[in-house]
Amino acid sequence: MREFVTKRLYQDVEGTCTGRYGYIVAVVAIMDIKMGKIIPGLGSAEFEVQYSAILFKPFRNEVMDAVVNTVNKIGFFASAGPLNIFVSHSLIPADMEFDPHTNPPSFHSEDIKIEKGTLVRVKISGTRIDATEIYAIGTIKEDYLGVIE
Amino acid sequence: MRMPKNRGPVRPQAEETLDAARLELGNDFQEAECLLISEVRVLLEAQYDAKKEDKNLKEVYTKTLEYVQKFSRYTNRDTIKEVRALLKPTELEAFECAQLGNLCCSEWEEAKSLVPSIGSKISDDDLDSLLKQMDSLKKYQG
């Protein structure tokens, strides 16, 4: 029974995302499984499980590294694991301009280029959370941010 | 990456008030353990075979695994232990330690700019020395 509850915990909880805890990436350890209670009327049993897990929650003003996925004229999208971060052109240094003619399209200045696959250091400027997903916006317009060599 | 300790029902704070620059992470995360990207990599890789066999590879897991493999700074567990040993005696909070370990700044100005909550918790010279030691560990790891 314990094995069944453990498997169900992994299936139900891993991969979910809430505003409060962020992404539940992986359950690491199960500390306690309380005795099951039958739910009247449903015929199913409810188990309270105490467990520890790896969570990923982005915070405003947190700096993290990310991989650029798409670039268009309004900015670029980058991902840090399951989290998508949008960096608007207004939060990209002014000397970088969008160039639709490069293949793939990119933002570039004289010596730096941002395109799909580029690694960037981003500061999270805000997060919006709906029921099951986190949307983050970021900036690279400050010191020590931007393309990572 | 963070692991909150179980402390019973707590009312969550409004998201708008949370701010990493002031180390205001909310009730759930304020006292939580913060893992280095390299530590998360060790943990997630350990689960890979079992998850693959159970056909339970969720997108969040695989995307995170790919991310930590790409950005992991330390290649083996001994190096991770040594980095932790360097960070432990400082007065820095869990989040700040993890950020320093993950971002690998070259000097104190960069570190204090990217992790502003550090402020005067550690002197510029001490921080510089800490960063250089961490960099040596990274350079000479097996």
Furthest CA-CA distance within chain B: 51
Which chain B residues touch A50 with a CB distance below 8 Å?
A: 6
Closest partner residue to A52 (CB to CB) among B3, B47, B60 is B3
Own/partner long-range contacts of B114-120 (Cβ < 8 Å, ≥24 apart) = B114/A63, B114/A123, B114/A144, B115/A63, B116/A61, B116/B21, B117/B20, B117/B21, B117/B22, B117/B23, B117/B93, B118/B92
Which chain A residues touch B55 with a CB distance below 8 Å?
A: none
Measured over the CA atoms of residue B108, residue B111, residue B112 and residue B117, the dihedral's sign is negative
pLDDT at site B4: 64
pLDDT at site B111: 98
Q: Is the CB of B105 less than 8 angstroms away from the CB of A25?
A: no
A126 at interface of B, judged by CB pairs closer than 8 A: no
pLDDT at site A3: 87
| Residue-level pLDDT, tens digit, chain B, 142 residues | 666 665 555 556 677 789 999 999 999 999 999 999 999 999 999 999 999 998 889 999 999 999 999 999 999 999 999 999 999 999 899 999 999 999 999 999 999 999 999 999 999 999 999 999 999 999 998 7
Question: What does the DSSP 8-state code read for residue B20?
Answer: G
Residues 6+ away with beta carbon under 8 Å from A115:
A68, A71, A102, A104, A105, A106, A107
Q: Give yes or no for a contact between B111 and B97, defined as CB atoms under 8 angstroms apart.
A: no
Best mutation target among A17, A63, A77 (most B Cβ atoms within 10 Å) is A63
Q: Give yes or no for a contact between B87 and B97, defined as CB atoms under 8 angstroms apart.
A: yes
Taking chain A, what is the end-to-end CA distance rounded to the nearest angstrom?
A: 51
A59 at interface of B, judged by CB pairs closer than 8 A: yes
Q: Is the CB of B60 less than 8 angstroms away from the CB of A19?
A: no
Min Cα distance A133 → chain B (Å) is 11
Q: Is the CB of B43 less than 8 angstroms away from the CB of A10?
A: no
Q: Give yes or no for a contact between A120 and A140, defined as CB atoms under 8 angstroms apart.
A: yes
Q: Is the CB of A127 less than 8 angstroms away from the CB of B43?
A: no
Sole residue written with tokens 């360097």 = B86
pLDDT at site B6: 59
Q: Which two tokens stand for residue A104?
A: 């793939």
Best mutation target among A18, A20, A21, A24 (most B Cβ atoms within 10 Å) is A20
Q: Match domain A63-147 to its CATH number in 1.10.3720.10, 2.60.40.10, 3.30.565.10, 2.40.50.140.
A: 2.40.50.140
Rounded to 5°, the CA angle A72-B68-B108 comes to: 85
Instruction: Tell which B residues from 98 to 137 touch A, by Cβ distance under 8 Å.
Output: 99, 102-103, 105, 110, 113-116
What does the DSSP assignment read for B62-86? HHHHHHHHHH----SHHHHHHHHHH
Predicted TM-score (pTM) of the model is 0.91
Question: Which residues in chain A land under pLDDT 50?
Answer: none
Residue B114 to residues A24, A145, B22, B59, Cα–Cα distance (Å): 26, 8, 12, 29
pLDDT at site B96: 97
In tens, the pLDDT along A73-91 reads 999 999 999 999 999 999 9
Q: Which of A11, A41, A46, A47 is nearest to A26 (CA)?
A: A11
pLDDT at site B16: 76
pLDDT at site A1: 80
B18 at interface of A, judged by CB pairs closer than 8 A: yes
Strand partners, A106: A99
pLDDT at site B113: 97
Q: Give yes or no for a contact between A71 and A81, defined as CB atoms under 8 angstroms apart.
A: no
A115 at interface of B, judged by CB pairs closer than 8 A: no
Q: Which of A104, A95, A101, A102 is nearest to A146 (CA)?
A: A95
Closest partner residue to B64 (CB to CB) among A19, A82, A143 is A82
Interface contacts (A, B; CB < 8 Å):
106
Which chain B residues touch A12 with a CB distance below 8 Å?
A: none
Quote the CA–CA distance of A22 and A53 in Å, as a whole number. 11
Is ipTM strictly over 0.90? yes
pLDDT at site B51: 92
Counting Cβ atoms within 10 Å, is residue A30 exposed (0-12), middle (13-18) or buried (19+)? middle
A134 SS3 class = strand
Domain layout of chain A by residue ranges: 2-56, 63-147
B76 at interface of A, judged by CB pairs closer than 8 A: no
